[in-house]
Structure 1
Amino acid sequence: MNMLDDKVVLVSGGSQGVGGAVARAVAREGASVLLTGRRTEPGEALAAELTALGAQAAFVRADVADVEQARASVAAAVARFGRVDCLVNSAGLTSRGSLLDTTPELFDAHIAVNLRAPFFLMQGAVADMLSRHAPGTIVNIISTSAHCGQPFLTPYSTAKAALAGLTRNAAHAHRFDRIRINGLNIGWTDTEGEDATQRAFHGAGDDWREQAGKSLPMGRLGRADEIADFVVFLLSDRSGVVTGSVIDWDQNVIGAID
């Protein structure tokens, strides 16, 4: 449908998982895409895949925990494509920690990736939009853990809750600039990163997806491509005037009690 025709989209954490799915989806919808990530090989491979399909795509290695690298990725998008019309903050850190066992280093790592990086990526993208007096759209990938989260996700939940607040604050600040900023609180999703997390922290075996599905209302995990389609909608004009919304993208109803 070319919902993002002639748009330039910057996707942080765009080399795999939800970010990779978003990169594919926005390219399919006509956008030029700059994807970033810490791992060069999968990032360059995905950019090459999208280019082979006829999209304008490029990869820039960036560890967004480093503010200067985050800022440089915005500059790279402007240098390569002339502007940033849309930003998707998909890079994330999901390592485990409770209130009692989280070290200052782990806490700072979660803040750096899950909160500080989106803040400064948004700062750079919005500054570019304002310099051109142009509208734009931003989608922050948050988490249903922003509502509370499990006890072993304390620093993660803390950072994601703050990101939800940042999403609303920035949307309010720039609504008259026609810059729409929304967020998705995504639930349990089948990604490469989640597979690694389940194996590293929970001793999961090869059947963990099937076992997880048995506990979920729809009988399966969410899929990254489904999230990506929702992100495309929020980035596009099809979502109208919606801004400042943090949407629960999950199969469980937050706050419900059986």
Structure 2
Amino acid sequence: MGRLSGKVAVVTGGASGIGEATVRRFVAEGARVAFADRDAERGRSVAAEIAAAGGDVRFTAADVGDEAAALAFVAEAEAAFGRLDILVNNAGIRLYQTVVDASAESWDTLLNVNLKSYAYCAKGAIPAMRRAGGGSIVNVASVRSVTAGGNTIQYDTAKAAIAGLTRGLAIDHSPEGIRANAVCPGPIFTPFHARRIAAAGRSVESYNEDAAGRTMLRRPGTADEVASCILFLASDDASYVTGSLLFVDGGMTAM
């Protein structure tokens, strides 16, 4: 019996990185999982691989920054699996701008994905969780919820807002047996970072050295390590945890 046996979860941004690691971990722990991503090719590949290994998984190509698409994704997952117990909001993009450089359009682009999609998916998931007798929402925030990265004004703003959204969801819906928490990753090496490093002409070693200088554990984290913390918050092991931010940052924010 896995820690999520009998549970149904939906995960956004599930085709790569932290989202993919979470989908795989949830399936390994007995959950049936629906996940969405804008990368249809990668999403279908991940779903096919998991299904071939015996996992019960469903992929939807969707931009959850669009309210109608987000609500449809969640509704289709409940209809397909018969219930909904867990929502993991993970979809995200990053833009490199200061407030002076940022346009109204770029603000909308980032906030639609990195913040509004979290609210849209929660809007769809909470009624389904009520029908299931309760549930757990885990939002993927960041150390940028409480710090700033530099030249990422929109990303930093969205991640700070996710902390507030998490607390608001927790206080509004705890009487219904619905918990809401967030993980706040620090430097986590994912395919996104691999692409950024390559585009900048840097080596993986240089990234690791930079992370070593910014964390107590002297290294970057992995997507699997974040997924383990998401699993904890989603599972009944965290039955008395709500409204919390769990920092998965190698001690970065405590330095």
Amino acid of the structure 1 residue aligned with 2:184: N
State which drifts further: 24-33 or 189-198: 189-198
Corresponding position: 1:60 with 2:60 = yes
Q: Give structure 2 stretches of 5+ with no counterpart.
A: none
1:236 corresponds to which residue? Answer: 235
Cα distance in 1 between the residues matched to 2:103 and 2:201 = 22
Q: Give structure 1 stretches of 5+ with no counterpart.
A: none
2:147 corresponds to which residue? Answer: 148
Same amino acid, percent of matched pairs:
37
1:220 corresponds to which residue? Answer: 219
Corresponding position: 1:72 with 2:78 = no
The aligned length equals 254
Deviations 1:198-243 (A, max 9, x none): 444x553454433334424323211000110111111111112211
Amino acid of the structure 1 residue aligned with 2:217: M
* CA positional deviation for 1:79: 2.0
Amino acid of the structure 2 residue aligned with 1:126: I
Corresponding position: 1:183 with 2:182 = yes
Cα distance in 2 between the residues matched to 1:211 and 1:160 = 25
Moved over 4 A (4+): none
Amino acid of the structure 1 residue aligned with 2:110: H
Go from structure 1 to structure 2 and tell me whether the alpha carbon gap of 1:197 and 1:242 turns closer, same or farther (over 3 Å shift). Answer: same
Amino acid of the structure 2 residue aligned with 1:76: E
2:136 corresponds to which residue? Answer: 137
* CA positional deviation for 1:60: 0.5
Q: TM-score, with normalisation over the residues of structure 1?
A: 0.93
Cα distance in 2 between the residues matched to 1:198 and 1:96 = 15
Describe the SS at the equivalent of 2:164.
Answer: helix
Deviations 1:88-129 (A, max 9, x none): 011111121112211211111121011100001011000112
Go from structure 1 to structure 2 and tell me whether the alpha carbon gap of 1:181 and 1:102 turns closer, same or farther (over 3 Å shift). Answer: same
* Contact 1:12/1:89, CA 8 A, preserved across alignment: yes
Describe the SS at the equivalent of 2:242.
Answer: coil
2:208 corresponds to which residue? Answer: 210
Deviations 1:152-192 (A, max 9, x none): 11110101111110100011001110001100111110101
Cα distance in 2 between the residues matched to 1:159 and 1:213 = 23
Cα distance in 1 between the residues matched to 2:42 and 2:93 = 18
Cα distance in 2 between the residues matched to 1:160 and 1:73 = 23
Describe the SS at the equivalent of 2:156.
Answer: helix
Q: What's the Cα RMSD here? A: 1.6
Amino acid of the structure 1 residue aligned with 2:32: S
